[in-house]
Structure 1
Amino acid sequence: MDDVEVRELRYFIAVAEELNFTRAAARLGMAQPPLSTAIGKLERKLGVTLLERTSRHVHLTSAGQELLEQGRIAVEAIGAALERTRRTGTQADRLTVAIKAGAGTELLSKITRRCADDPFMPQVHVQFVHDGGPAAALRAGTADVALLHTPFDDRGLDTELLFVEPRVAVLPAGHRLARRRSLRRADLAGEPMPRWAKQTDTATAAYWANGPGETPDGPEISDMNQLLDVVALGQAVAYIPLSIARQHGRAELVFVPVADLSPSKVVAAWPDATRSRTVASFVHTAVEVAADRPRQAAALA
């Protein structure tokens, strides 16, 4: 069997995701006939049928579904390897840490200050991630390590739990429940909740909604600041981790504990193929800093 080229995998992934040769060709910036020829050549190389074509529809075969899943992983891994190689050659003295914009920097600030006291640690560069989130930045090779709130797509990643904390409801100050000392999820049944952009995972969507099986139906947002803005404007209510609530106090917002709401877990994550001592040192420092949080919280009480 001839070797399959990355270009051919990219072509196939586009067709498999669009299930339409015309749309796939437009997405790839090429004409349709060469794309059809390339897919036929790929099928001959592999000796299997990847797509069932009719005059109106394109369907994946079982072999095509397998190649779509494995091909995505392969193309992603190659892109990440090239990006990490580039960064190693141009930014060898820098550790890039990805966090979600608006998710709070208190923990990371303490970690970076402690890292700065270690003469063997390189400079820590913070990457505020929007599209795809910190986990996607790790898989793409643009970041070395990330701090995230679960749940997230942990495919291809290793993680270390830093701490667990409660989530609270964030309400507009004029909301009918804003003066309550505590709530239950049922109290907010039927309230619109923000939808995270490009969120396709149902479990994660339910986490940000009012429970399993539910889907947020409020305004679409892409970071925590936007979430708080739509709540302040009275367009939605939301659930957020307590540490983020403490960093985003605003007169137009009220934060209320929710007795039956699942907690938030904060983890450090890195690509599972990483063998970097620098990443290991950063994660070790993050665990130490996170372990100090209960004492810090007691001192602030």
Structure 2
Amino acid sequence: MEVEIRHLRAFTAVARCGSFSRAAEELSITQPALSRTVAQLEAALGVRLLERTSRRVEPTDVGEEFLHQAEGALASFDHLLATTRRQASLRLGFSWLLPAPWAQQSIKGFEKTTGASVKLIRTDDPLQALRRRTVDIAVVRGDEPPPQPLRTVRLYDETRFAVCARESPLAGRDRLDWDEVRHWPLIVNTVSGTTGPWSWPPESRPTDIVETSNYDEWVETVAANRGIGIVPETARHRSPHPALHFIALTNAPPVPVRLVYLPDGPRALIRRFVDASLEASRA
């Protein structure tokens, strides 16, 4: 049997703790599994490394020397992993306005637990960026499910707000019902927008649609009073445009916020980022 890193970690934990039960708790494994692992190591080496008594577990003379060498080997191995991981990065794509504080908490948690870094990449079409493999994972808003083979994880929902120009007749309103939106020209970001005619049943959809192809065009078209737009609440806090007025929407469905990724991407990093993101979304 070949000696593996897990055998060294098991032995050094028992020798350091002086107890199989405490070492098993430290390693988050069962005591029988830990005992088997140490026994496998001793069998592979052909020597007894630990003296077991009813009160304590202590290294033998051979075990003391082996412990010193094993701890050095593990320290070098861990240093190698940490150094290499610091060079790894995950490319996070987004089309506009990463949600706060979710994004900051997710990135901080991921980088702290992995040693890898997150590279932020702004792109008008995150799904296309995934298909072209210029990003590894993307933040996507909206109701439309991503096409295969993209995978998705739903994080949480954002409240929708209406937005109009300061000179719009709606600028004096502090509330607007979802059903009223169809009576106004609707400005839509066709590439990464979260709201469009598809957001209503066919019989009640807005018919006067003004199309834009990115967030900046959308903002300036609304500011020019060409119609009204619908955005997640994030935009209300982070788009301080002097020509815009935000209006609370009643009876509006929320906007799902999701992570989307390819199944054959860097799986370990993606999994850890998804875990950090889900934890941040519950905070």
Smaller-chain TM-score range?
A: 0.5 to 0.7
- Asked if residue 237 in structure 1 is aligned to residue 228 in structure 2, the reply is yes
- Asked if residue 171 in structure 1 is aligned to residue 164 in structure 2, the reply is yes
Distance 1:244 1:271 in 2: 28
User: Bigger shift: 103-112 or 280-289?
Assistant: 103-112
Corresponding position of 2:79:
none
Unaligned runs of 5+ in 1: 1-91, 293-301
Distance 1:168 1:215 in 2: 16
- Report if aligned partners of 1:167, 1:263 keep a CA contact under 8 Å in 2: yes
Alpha carbons of structure 1 residues 198 and 159: separation in structure 2 relative to 1, 3 Å: closer
Residue by residue over 1:93-146, the C-alpha shift from the partner in whole angstroms, topping out at 9 and shown as x without a partner, is 22111110x33353323322333323x24221111112xx11222222221111
Structure 2 counterpart SS, 1:143: coil
- Asked if residue 270 in structure 1 is aligned to residue 264 in structure 2, the reply is no
Taking the TM superposition and a 5 Å limit, the aligned residue runs for 1:12-51 are none
Q: 2:129 aligns with which of 133, 137, 146?
A: 137
Alpha carbons of structure 1 residues 145 and 216: separation in structure 2 relative to 1, 3 Å: farther
Residue by residue over 1:64-119, the C-alpha shift from the partner in whole angstroms, topping out at 9 and shown as x without a partner, is xxxxxxxxxxxxxxxxxxxxxxxxxxxx722111110x33353323322333323x
Aligned partner letter, 2:244: L
- Report if aligned partners of 2:190, 2:211 keep a CA contact under 8 Å in 1: yes
Once the two structures are TM-superposed, the CA of residue 254 in structure 1 deviates from its matched residue by: 1.3
Corresponding position of 2:5:
none
- Asked if residue 108 in structure 1 is aligned to residue 103 in structure 2, the reply is yes
- Asked if residue 192 in structure 1 is aligned to residue 146 in structure 2, the reply is no
Once the two structures are TM-superposed, the CA of residue 275 in structure 1 deviates from its matched residue by: 6.4
TM-score, normalization by structure 1: 0.57
Distance 1:236 1:141 in 2: 36
Corresponding position of 2:89:
94
Aligned partner letter, 2:201: P
Distance 2:107 2:207 in 1: 35
Structure 1 counterpart SS, 2:231: strand
Structure 1 counterpart SS, 2:93: strand
Give the aligned CA root-mean-square deviation in angstroms.
Answer: 2.8
Distance 1:278 1:161 in 2: 18
Q: 1:150 aligns with which of 112, 126, 142?
A: 142
Once the two structures are TM-superposed, the CA of residue 228 in structure 1 deviates from its matched residue by: 1.6
How many aligned residue pairs are there? 194
Q: 2:112 aligns with which of 117, 140, 153?
A: 117
Distance 1:104 1:198 in 2: 16
- Report if aligned partners of 2:158, 2:233 keep a CA contact under 8 Å in 1: yes
Corresponding position of 1:47:
none
Q: 1:127 aligns with which of 115, 121, 124?
A: 121
- Asked if residue 212 in structure 1 is aligned to residue 204 in structure 2, the reply is no
Aligned partner letter, 1:140: R
Corresponding position of 2:72:
none
Once the two structures are TM-superposed, the CA of residue 276 in structure 1 deviates from its matched residue by: 0.8
- Asked if residue 183 in structure 1 is aligned to residue 182 in structure 2, the reply is no
Once the two structures are TM-superposed, the CA of residue 173 in structure 1 deviates from its matched residue by: 1.6
Once the two structures are TM-superposed, the CA of residue 284 in structure 1 deviates from its matched residue by: 0.7
User: Identity, % of aligned pairs?
Assistant: 19
- Report if aligned partners of 1:95, 1:125 keep a CA contact under 8 Å in 2: yes
- Report if aligned partners of 1:168, 1:258 keep a CA contact under 8 Å in 2: yes
Alpha carbons of structure 1 residues 216 and 241: separation in structure 2 relative to 1, 3 Å: farther
Once the two structures are TM-superposed, the CA of residue 269 in structure 1 deviates from its matched residue by: 1.3
Distance 2:233 2:155 in 1: 15
Residue by residue over 1:196-237, the C-alpha shift from the partner in whole angstroms, topping out at 9 and shown as x without a partner, is 3468xxx974246xx233366444322222212111111120
Once the two structures are TM-superposed, the CA of residue 263 in structure 1 deviates from its matched residue by: 0.9
Alpha carbons of structure 1 residues 150 and 212: separation in structure 2 relative to 1, 3 Å: same
Structure ID, larger Rg: 2
Distance 1:204 1:176 in 2: 21
Alpha carbons of structure 1 residues 121 and 282: separation in structure 2 relative to 1, 3 Å: farther
Alpha carbons of structure 1 residues 275 and 128: separation in structure 2 relative to 1, 3 Å: closer
Once the two structures are TM-superposed, the CA of residue 192 in structure 1 deviates from its matched residue by: 1.6
Alpha carbons of structure 1 residues 204 and 255: separation in structure 2 relative to 1, 3 Å: closer
Aligned partner letter, 1:146: A
Structure 2 counterpart SS, 1:195: strand
- Report if aligned partners of 2:97, 2:238 keep a CA contact under 8 Å in 1: no
Structure 2 counterpart SS, 1:108: helix
Alpha carbons of structure 1 residues 255 and 207: separation in structure 2 relative to 1, 3 Å: farther
